Amino acid sequence: MDNYKSRLIDKQIDESLKSYGAINIVGAKWIGKTWAGRKHSKSEFLLMDPQGNYQNRRLAMTDVSMVFEGENPRLIDEWQEVPEIWDATRYKCDEDGVKGKYILTGSTVVSEEKKKQIKHSGAGRIKKIKMYPMSLYESGYSTGDVSLLDIYNNKVKSKLTGDIKLVDIIKLVLRGGWPGNLNISFDEAIKVPKEYIKQILETDIDRISDVKRDSNKMMLLLRSLSRNESTTISISKLKNDIQEIDREDIDVKTISEYLSDLNKLYLIENLPPFNPNVRSSMRVKQMEKRHFVDPSIATSLLNLTVDKCVNDLAAFGFFFEAMVIRDLKIYSEANDWNLFHYQDYEDNEFDAVIEFDDGDYAAFEIKVGAHQIEEAANNLIRIKESMIAKGIKPPKTLCVICGLSNAVYTREDGVIVLPITALKN
């Protein structure tokens, strides 16, 4: 644990252990859930420890009480392998009412078949905490000169942050937020998401659904989702995309089922739509914007390289947006704020919206190049003025997040400009 790199979720774990008998850390594989659990525990029981031919798993299935024999807080990793652990945890929390007894971790949702074995929800006893890959701030690629709290309070101080090369931004996207990538070369790092997808298709998909899945069709869907990263494409249009690009056909029902599987594996992290005024007559599009949990999944599925991204910056813009959304999601949740996107039927669009506790919100445009800042800022102002004219609650703060800006500053029109490599929670 001497090598443990602090995560923003650490504070949430500490606070939750003071209020609940147990917590359940969920999220995709390889993002550091077990390490985070170990950081906050005094003993552990690892269900998928291969020692003794997976002896721990067999012990848990034989006598579930053995799982809880150890000093608290006790980490129980991959608990969903033995679903009875959930009800047993709830019971152990009720036994004495002591807080902070157990830390459960899992990288998949319990399958439908195993879910039948769980009798209680755990409400009030077990708190779910969602974990994500590392943000740029957590991995050390952002200076953290500006926080979301600064943006909320409109107290962003101007500061030169230094030039950053396009190649460096591209490498951040291709590398991804995997903790195992921190201390290895870029050439090795980009192999990680490829191996990740391979593992998903070979071992996890069939287990999560209790049904044998067609790995070829799953790969076709994954590639289509990659081509449509950071868009609101519908299931029917995903079907058409697969037909047009890959010359294959997958029916809508199969796509829907496969998307459900990907959700259960926490591989997808779609962005919900935002409605600034529920009582307004303004029609707001209700489609989620599609995202993988990390943009490197999409870029690896499309076999993108630095050179390919440089030669198609329009396409790269979608993957850069996905990386920014990943970080905004992590920073927002660290403050207990909500992240959305906004689209209406008059072609008004905010790439991201953060809703604060008091009901106010900030609107964001996300751009790779500094030459796009002027257009992005004007778009934010135009939409805000349109909202005011229609009696819709406008954003409190307007912000352009840029890849290649070399400074943090507030424009004369009030729009904040900042590089993603200067942002933190």
Query: CA–CA separation, 209 vs 268, rounded Å?
Result: 16
Query: CA–CA separation, 246 vs 218, rounded Å?
Result: 13
User: Who's near 319: CB < 8 A, 6+ residues apart?
Assistant: 173, 229, 230, 295, 298, 299, 304, 309
Burial of 296 (0-12, 13-18, 19+ CB in 10 A): buried
State whether 96 and 144 are in the same domain. Answer: no
Q: Is 2 within the bounds of a domain?
A: no
What is the count of structural domains for the chain? 2
In single-letter form, the type of residue at position 140 comes to G
- Here the CATH number for the domain that contains residue 66 is 3.40.50
State whether 407 and 270 are in the same domain. Answer: yes
State whether 120 and 144 are in the same domain. Answer: no
What is the pTM for the complete model shown?
Answer: 0.95
Instruction: Name the residue with tokens 């070829």.
Output: 216
Per the structure, the complete domain to which residue 114 belongs is given by 9-130
At 111, list the tokens: 């399958």
Q: Count of CB atoms within 10 A of residue 159's CB?
A: 14
Query: CA–CA separation, 175 vs 181, rounded Å?
Result: 7
State whether 57 and 116 are in the same domain. Answer: yes
State whether 115 and 186 are in the same domain. Answer: no
Tell me which of 97, 112, 130 is where a domain ends.
130
- pLDDT tens for the chain, 425 residues long, are 778 899 999 999 999 999 999 999 999 999 999 999 999 999 999 998 888 778 999 999 999 999 999 999 999 999 988 989 999 999 999 999 899 999 999 887 765 566 656 766 677 899 999 999 999 999 999 999 999 999 999 899 999 999 999 999 999 999 999 998 888 999 999 999 999 999 888 888 877 777 788 989 999 999 999 999 999 999 999 999 999 999 999 999 999 999 999 999 999 999 999 988 755 555 678 899 999 999 999 999 999 999 999 999 999 999 999 999 999 999 999 999 999 999 988 889 999 999 999 999 999 999 999 999 999 999 999 999 999 998 899 999 999 999 999 999 999 999 999 999 999 99
Query: CA–CA separation, 84 vs 126, rounded Å?
Result: 14
State whether 102 and 179 are in the same domain. Answer: no
Is the preceding peptide bond at 273 cis, omega within 30 degrees of 0? no
Alpha carbon separation from 217 to 98, 239, 263, 422 (Å, rounded): 48, 11, 16, 40
Q: Is 80 within the bounds of a domain?
A: yes
